[in-house]
Amino acid sequence: MKAMIVVGGFWGDEGKGKIVAYLAQKERVAIVARGGVGPNAGHTVAAGGEKHGVRMIPSGYVCRDARLLIGAGVLVNPEILMNEVNMLGVGNRVGVDERCSVIEERHITYDKENTFMSSKIGTTGTGCGPANADRDIASLKPFLTDVPVEVNEALDKNRSVVLEGTQGFGISLYYGSYPYVTSKDTTASQIAADVGIGPTRVGDVIIVFKAFPTRVGAGPFETEMSEEEAKKLGIEEYGTVTGRKRRIGRWDGKFARYSAMLNGATQCAITGLDKLDPSCNGVKEYDKLSEKVKNFVKQAEKDVGVAFTLLSTGPDVLEIVDLRG
């Protein structure tokens, strides 16, 4: 069996949490392993009438039997982790790699008080940047495990594994708009490295886009629209972690194509189609989508050159058109 990786194609907050939760539930996966930076990411999962913004636990928690692993590359804030473990009641399923680094109070203070980081870059203030520059040894004994062993052995046994990326291509330390970036790479290769699997063990890379891309914090955003325009369209958004207003833009096909290339995307998911045409809210069948949405997806597919197989029509995990064969 090969692992599937889910990554963000724009500047984060594309709805990776929703897509991972859907895939985990639908495929009854054995493992969902989280890569990425750390608790600066917030993944929103709306399922069964409950909504949570998870910052440490993988979004696949909605799949009741899945092991929920956090890879060695991910920074752990023990307080946030424990709060989520208790809130979701998933303590018996969580595994944190024994090599994870822990975010300490001093990292958070530095992130918030350093004017360059907080004002110029507009960081999330969660201490991720400083902790990544100052790695330390983890102390989360009850959960410690060897994540690469668990993931590789599950694949050997033909069990399905989803790797959950965080952030988005546009804020990658390497490929994003430096210095307005997060503290490491965010592409699929990095997510594989974060949880300890080699490229030969990856099957699908699903890149998540949103109909109206968003960006939080400073940095270039070519297709950005004015706040008034976003308000008129009724598509304003607020950050899951910081509550900041997200900057909103229009579809950028050129950027999406470049992003898909560097991620080696095999399939594309797109969220927020209901924002393009509210009549499509909650639609689950392709034929019931409006011509406007169908044409948008066809054009996006042409722009990127990779099939759009998951079309999200609302925040709930079940509000989706699944075109995977």
Half-sphere exposure for 14 (CA within 13 Å, toward CB)? 31
- Selected from 43, 67, 93, 215, the binder of ligand GTP by CB under 6 A is 43
Closer CB to ligand GTP, 154 or 195, in the complex = 195
253 near ligand IMP (CB under 6 A): no
For 268, the token pair is 């594309």
- In 3D space, the residue among 295, 294, 292, 322 whose CA is nearest the CA of residue 309 turns out to be 322
Instruction: Please say whether the beta carbons of 165 and 193 come within 8 A.
Output: no
Site string for Mg ion, 33-72 (x = CB under 5 A): ---------x------------------------------
Cα(57)–Cα(34) distance, integer angstroms? 8
**According to the binding rule CB under 6 A, does residue 167 interact with ligand IMP?**
yes
Instruction: Find out whether the peptide bond into 278 is cis, omega within 30 degrees of 0.
Output: no
Quote the DSSP letter at residue 249: B
Instruction: Give the active site residues.
Output: 13, 43
184 binds ligand GTP (CB under 6 A): no
Q: Name the residue with tokens 């470049």.
A: 258
Residues 25, 27, 30, 33, CA torsion sign: negative
Which DSSP string do the residues of 151-198 spell out, in sequence order?
HHHHHHTT--EEEE--S-GGG-TTTSSTTSS-SS--SHHHHHHHHT--
- Considering the rule CB under 6 A, would residue 8 count as an interface residue with ligand GTP? yes
Q: Which of ligand IMP, Mg ion, ligand GTP, none does 314 bind, CB closer than 5 to 8 A by kind?
A: ligand GTP
Instruction: By CB under 5 A, tell whether 186 contacts Mg ion.
Output: no
Per-residue x/- marks for ligand GTP, 13-42, CB under 6 A? xxxxxx----------------------xx
**152 touches, from ligand IMP, Mg ion, ligand GTP, none (C-beta below 5 to 8 Å by class):** none
Among 41, 154, 270, 273, binds ligand IMP (CB under 6 A): 41
13 binds Mg ion (CB under 5 A): yes
Q: Give whichever of 12 and 272 is closer to ligand IMP, judged by the CB atom.
A: 12
Nearest CA to 124 out of 246, 272, 213, 8 is that of: 246
Looking at 25, 240, 259, 312, which residue binds Mg ion (CB under 5 A)?
240
Q: What is the largest CA-CA distance in the chain?
A: 54
Is 12 a residue that touches ligand GTP (CB under 6 A)? yes
187 near ligand GTP, rule: CB under 6 A: no
Query: Whole-number minimum distance, CB 117 to ligand IMP, in Å?
Result: 7
Handedness of CA 257, 202, 21, 24 (dihedral sign): positive
Helices and strands: H and E segment counts in the chain = 11, 16
Where on the chain is the footprint of ligand IMP (CB under 6 A)?
Answer: 12-13, 37, 40-41, 121-124, 126, 128-129, 166-167, 171, 180, 182-183, 216-217
Summarize as ranges the residues that interact with ligand GTP (CB under 6 A): 8, 12-18, 41-44, 46, 166-168, 240, 271-272, 274-275, 312-315
